[in-house]
Structure 1
Amino acid sequence: MVFEVTIQIRVSDFKKGQSWYQTLLKRKPDFTPHKGFAEWEVIPGCWLQVAEGIPSEGSGPIRFGVSNLEQERDRLFKELSLEKFEIFEREGVPAKWGTFKDPWGNQLGFFEYSDENKKQEKICNGHQTSC
């Protein structure tokens, strides 16, 4: 039985990488057990590990669910100097999404549920306990 998930991505400059991901996730890591390694519990039981090393080509994207995709895209444009990435929607798909890369080529992205009730349900079951 699987009960937790860890996802690891590598960056060639750890100090810059940790700072970049702190800005992306809006907080410092939850766990830094040794030099060149940091972990964030993104949602309960799901950990994002950033490790110093050679980035893997062609992996990803890792997409994070957000409550407002356009707002997050604009924030990254300002805070991380990302180019504004395209937002996609497709009939029959209950979410819109966008993909971008970190400075080391790791593919990341955001998605937002189209249905407001579904979005609120997911948010309430995540880190926020009062809805």
Structure 2
Amino acid sequence: MAEGQRWYEILLNRRPDFIPHEGVAEWELIPGCWLQVAEGIPSEGNGPLRIGVTDLKAEKDRLLKELEIDDFDIHSRSEVPVMWGTFADPWGNRIRLFEHVDKDEERKRIETILGELIFDR
């Protein structure tokens, strides 16, 4: 569990927000949306957990260095508004990072999802 918690601390660039009991660590990714890492045997093919980043190439480079994950390709298609890349954690859980190609669209998505929470204060 300690190894898994540390791995996700590096991935998310922060310590857990809540540790309810031994064997469980939780991060609030956005208000009301939590990632829970728990001790045990993962189900095969879990995920992907999709995480938006502002600079996919830089984040890929950081994770290749700091977590020593397997290299992964960055994909894009003209009809899809994001670039993405998928890799696995050491336990086989799939994680997909994505970056909005259109930064105005990214801002609109953030406002739609978090608008009242961050823009109406």
Say yes or no: does 1:42 pair with 2:29. yes
Q: Please report the RMSD computed on the Cα atoms of aligned residues, expressed in angstroms.
A: 1.9
Give the number of the structure whose residues are more often helix, by fraction.
2
Task: Calculate the TM-score normalised by the size of structure 2.
Answer: 0.88
Of 86, 94, 100, which residue of structure 2 is paired with 1:107?
Answer: 94
Consecutive unaligned residues of structure 2, counting only runs of 5 or more, are: none
Q: How many residues align?
A: 117
Equivalent-residue separation in structure 2 for 1:112 and 1:121 (angstroms)? 14
Q: Tell me the percent identity.
A: 55
Equivalent-residue separation in structure 2 for 1:123 and 1:68 (angstroms)? 16
Query: Which consecutive aligned stretches of 4+ in structure 1 deviate over 4 angstroms post-superposition?
Result: 123-126
Q: Give 1:121 deviation, angstroms.
A: 3.4
Range 51-60 or range 115-124, more displaced: 115-124
Of 65, 88, 104, which residue of structure 1 is paired with 2:52?
Answer: 65
Q: Give 1:37 deviation, angstroms.
A: 0.1
Give the number of the structure whose residues are more often strand, by fraction.
1
More relative contact order, 1 or 2 (CA 8 Å, 6+ apart): 1
Consecutive unaligned residues of structure 1, counting only runs of 5 or more, are: 1-13
Equivalent-residue separation in structure 1 for 2:16 and 2:84 (angstroms)? 25
